[in-house]
Amino acid sequence: MPPPAHFARREAHALALLRELGAGDLDHPGGSLLAHLERVHARLGVWGARPALRLAGLCHAFYGTDGFATALLPVGRRAELAAVIGAEAEEIVYFYASCDRAASYPTLASDVPCGAGAHTEAAAAEADADADAADDEAVSSGAPAFRDRFTGHVHCPGRQPRRDFAELTAANELDLARIDPAFRAAHGPGLLALFTRLRGLLTEPAWRECRAVLGEGVSAP
C-alpha cells in the first residue's frame, strides 16, 4: 500500500478538483455538496475505512448517483478522476454512481455464489441487447445482481465491491439523516430496513451508527 503521504496528496488534489468543478457552490442538505462530501469522507475515516474507500467517499458524487442527478464529470471522463485519486478509488466511485438502486438492492447482500443459477457474467453479456430480460434472469438466480444504470448491463459483483458500496451508502445516507430531520423522518425506517438487510456487508462501526442514527423510535429486528 502506498504511504499515507501519498493518499494525503491525492485527497488534496481531489479537493482542489471538487472546488474547480463547483462542488462548493452546489446546494445540498447541510450546506454545499462539498461540505457533504467532506463529512462522508470523515465518517468513513472514523469507521476505519482504508484510504481508497475514504477517497471514494470524498468523490462519490462525481458522476452523479441514482439519488442525486447532478454530475461534476461525465462518465466518459473517468480517466481524469482516476488520474487524481487512483484506479481503485475511482472504480469504487463508478460502482457507487452506476448503481440502479431499485434493481440492485434486493439481492445486494445475497450469499448465493455468482456462478449459481442461470446468471453469469457471460449470460449478462449475451443479454445486454435486452436489459429487461437480463434483469429478470439475474434476480431469479438469487445471486447478487447489480444493474449499471449507465449501460443497462447486469452483472454479479464480488463481495469486496459490495462491502465498499454498503459502507459508502451508509456513510452517505447517515450524513443526510443526521443533518436533515425531515429526511430522517421520511426515510429513516426504510433506510434502517435496508441496512438491516445489508448488515453482513457493513463493518461493526457502521452498523452501530445505523442503529444509533436511525433506530430511535423505529422498530428494528
Place of cell 422498530: 219
Provide the pLDDT for residue 153. 97
Q: Is residue 199 part of a domain?
A: no
Boundaries of domain holding 41: 4-97
Q: What is the pTM of this model?
A: 0.86
Is a pLDDT exceeding 80 seen at residue 58?
A: yes
Range 1-11 average pLDDT: 83
Q: Is the pLDDT of residue 101 over 70?
A: yes
**122 close to 93: Cβ distance less than 8 angstroms:** no
pLDDT, mean over the chain: 88
pLDDT tens sequence across 124-172: 444 444 444 444 444 446 899 999 999 999 999 999 999 999 999 999 9
Alpha helices (runs of H) in 47-106, residue ranges in sequence order: 51-58, 78-85, 87-98, 101-104
- 14-32 pLDDT tens trace: 999 999 999 999 999 889 9
Residue 19 covered by a domain? yes
Q: For the residues 72-94, what does the mean pLDDT come to? A: 98
Higher-pLDDT residue of 117 and 12 is 12
Residue 79 has pLDDT above 90, yes or no: yes
Burial class (CB in 10 A: 0-12, 13-18, 19+), 166: buried
- Provide the domain count of the chain: 1
pLDDT reported for residue 2: 63
* pLDDT score of 3: 64
- Angstrom distance (rounded) from CA 174 to CA 156: 26
Question: In angstroms, rounded to a whole number, what is the distance separating the alpha carbons of residues 201 and 195?
Answer: 9
The pLDDT of residue 121 is above 60: no
Question: Residue 48 domain-assigned?
Answer: yes
For 97, residues 6+ apart whose C-beta sits below 8 A from its C-beta are 60, 61, 62, 63, 64, 65, 75, 150
Position 212 scores a pLDDT of 97
Note whether residue 51 is domain-resident. Answer: yes
Q: Which helix (H) or strand (E) holds 64?
A: none
Cα 35 to its chain centre, rounded Å, is 18
Residue 62 lies inside a defined structural domain of this protein: yes
Q: Is residue 72 part of a domain?
A: yes
Whether residue 10 lies inside any domain: the answer is yes
- Counting Cα atoms < 13 Å in the Cβ hemisphere of 168 gives 30
What is the structure's pLDDT at 128? 45
Domain membership of residue 29 (yes or no) is: yes
Nearest to 78 by CA among 4, 6, 25, 150: 150
